[in-house]
Structure formats: C-alpha cells, structure tokens
Amino acid sequence: MSSAKLTINLESLVQNWRALNALSSTQTGAVVKADGYGLGADIVGRALLREGVQSFFVATALEGKTLRDALGGGPNIYVFSGHMEGDTGAIRNGALTPMLNSTNQLLRHLETLPGHLFGIQLDTGMNRLGMEPNEWFAVRDIAIGQRPALIISHLACADIADHPMNISQLETFQMMTNGLDIPRSLAATGGILLGKAYHFEMTRPGIGLYGGMPFADTLPVVSLDLPIIQVRNVLSGETVGYGNSWFATCDSKIATVSGGYADGIIRAMGPNTSLYAGDTACPIVGRISMDLITADITNLSETPDSLQLLGKRQTVETVASAAGTIGYEILTSLGQRYYRSIIE
C-alpha cells in the first residue's frame, strides 16, 4: 500500500503512565492535548481511562468537547486555555473544567455558567498563562468562595533539574496557595522528576507518556514505516531530487519511499537522517519532498518492502535533533495520511 504505516503501541503508553505514576507521590493525571500529542486523543484517552486515569488535560475547549465525546461522562477534563468568549457551549455540554487564567475569564465564567466546575491557573514566572500574584490576591477570596476544583501552575525550565527557575516557581506557587484547602498541581513530566516537593495533590505527565524526554526511562510508543515505491540504480555523478542538491559519488542504489514533509517528516531533518532496514542505516539523499523521500540502500543485500524512520533503531529524540527541534514537535507533527495500526 502506498500509505506509510504509523504503529501506536498503547501498551507502552500505559507502561509509561505506570512508571510516572510510580514516581508521583500523589494522584496522577494525563495531558492529552494536541490530539494526544499527535497519536489520537480518543485512543490515548480510552487506554488511560481503562488504566484508571481520572484527570485529563487539553489545550482548548473544542479539544475538551471532542475528548468528552470519546470518553463519556466520568473523568475530569481540564482546559488550559480556560474560558474564552465563544467557549461557553462547549464547556457546558462537555462538562469541562476550564482553568481560568485571568480576572476576565473568572468573571465570564461566573456570569455565564454559575455553579459550573472550574479551576484556576496561576503564573509563577513563566509569563505565559495564568494570574500573577497581584491579580490573584485581588480576586482570591471571590475565587475560593466559588470552590475551584484545582489550582495549577506550569514550570518553564523543569527539564533542567538544577535550573534556579524551578525552586523560584515552587516558592511562588506555595506563597500564592499555601493554606488554601484546594487541590493543587504544578508538575508535568519534568516536574515529577524534580521530586516530591513539586507533586502537591496531582501530577500531570505529558511528553513522558509518549516516549519523549526528559523522562529517560520512557518507552517508545510510535514506530513509522515508509513503503518503498521504487528502487533504481544511479551512476556516479547522477543527481537525485529537487534542486539537484545531492549527487552520487559512486554507483548507488536509491529507494523512493512514500512519506514526506506533508506527513510531518520535517523537511529540515533530511541531511542528518537515515531510514533503517533492520539495523542498517540508509541515509536520506536529496531533499525531502512533499510525499516522497529518497534513501541510499546501496549497502542492503535485499530490498525490503519498507524503510523505518521511527522505531527501535531511531527514537523520536534522535529525529528531533536531526531536525533541530524537540521530540514534542516530531510527535505533534505526525501526519493524517498514515495508515494507523494500534497495538493494545
């Protein structure tokens, strides 16, 4: 088949959650925003729900509503972007818990959905989402009087264990919330690894569930196999691909596989990345095209049906380095055109 095959191993995903849950001294939720980091929030969410996860985090209200439809009633679904104008219907119908980021959002929520679940997001120094200390202390009594379900903040530098920002954010979070009888959450994957002081009443791992750093013991969750469409011999000196950017320095055998940057195989990785046939690296040659990649298979004794981009020999992190980015972007870029095979 001309469609590339993305294999999603839910067993590994669940094992990653268990490992992070074991490291958490408290309740453990799961971040499934960006369509479950590109793997499908519905299938990821259902697998974790079966495992007993009761708290899911998404970015937008529409993501939350879609997830609610997939999971049914029961688990809590928290929305990081809070309650924006136009979100009220989705929040109500999806029984979502918006994490309110500002006085504006707090007022909107209390006016439009009085009595409906909500949480509070505080900014402890990242300056991205959430109420800062001054704003928070001005509205805190009103907010607490309405019994928020959860108070959270987010760490800016948690993947660097000894970064002074971590302790600074921790202390600010404590200063803003100590003495309140409301559950709190500060730690995503990186924060879990920083230790118990960061765990509070709930942790919420994301990237560590999906096979990305900084959780060193994370198991790979995806593999990606690109079918070979065609093989050709090129003579020394012949060029391959757009712009004649590569030429053969010796007689070579070139495979053209189905898959390209339109499938989220970031174009920038081309010069630094190989596809694998078993343990043999087959360097990408020429530019990555929209739907096609060419690789040098001269060293293979037999031509396989497909070459592997992600799998045992090459992790999400390796490919991310080759593309000059982070594992998160490799995952969330995974394309819609793949045939998706699920291992349960």
Question: Which residues does the annotation mark as catalytic?
Answer: 33, 242
Which member of 78, 173, 276, 328 binds a copy of itself (CB under 8 A)?
A: 328
- Region from 179-187, 275-283, 310-318, 331-339 binding a copy of itself, contact rule CB under 8 A: 331-339
Q: How far is CA 6 from the centre of its chain?
A: 16
> Please, which residue, 39 or 53, has the CB nearer to a copy of itself?
39
Beta carbon of residue 28, minimum distance to a copy of itself (angstroms, whole number): 20
Which member of 261, 269, 297, 309 binds a copy of itself (CB under 8 A)?
A: 261
Phi–psi pair at 147, nearest 5 degrees: 55, 70
Look at residue 131 and give its three-state secondary structure.
strand
Within 68-127, which residues bind a copy of itself (CB under 8 A)? 79-82, 84-87, 101-102, 105, 123, 125-127
Which member of 74, 336, 341, 344 binds a copy of itself (CB under 8 A)?
A: 336
Binding mask 223-252 for a copy of itself (x = CB under 8 A): ----x-xx-x-x---xxxxxxx--------
> Please, which residue, 244 or 341, has the CB nearer to a copy of itself?
244
Within 15-54, which residues bind a copy of itself (CB under 8 A)? 33-35, 37-38
| Number of residues this chain uses to bind a copy of itself (CB under 8 A) | 75
- What are the structure tokens assigned to 165, written together? 């920002």
Give the Cβ contact number of residue 311 at 10 Å.
14
- Region from 6-14, 140-148, 253-261, 276-284 binding a copy of itself, contact rule CB under 8 A: 253-261
Within 128-147, which residues bind a copy of itself (CB under 8 A)? 128-130, 132
**Residue whose token pair is 């990186």:** 190
Beta carbon of residue 244, minimum distance to a copy of itself (angstroms, whole number): 6
Within 189-228, which residues bind a copy of itself (CB under 8 A)? 227
d(CA 65, CA 80): 13
Give the Cβ contact number of residue 26 at 10 Å.
16
Within 143-182, which residues bind a copy of itself (CB under 8 A)? 156-157, 160, 163, 165
Look at residue 294 and give its three-state secondary structure.
strand
DSSP string for residues in 28-89: E-EE-HHHHHTT-HHHHHHHHHHTT--EEEESSHHHHHHHHHHH-SSSEEEETT---TT-HH
HSE of 60 in the Cβ direction (CA atoms, 13 Å)?
Answer: 8
Beta carbon of residue 71, minimum distance to a copy of itself (angstroms, whole number): 18
HSE of 118 in the Cβ direction (CA atoms, 13 Å)?
Answer: 28
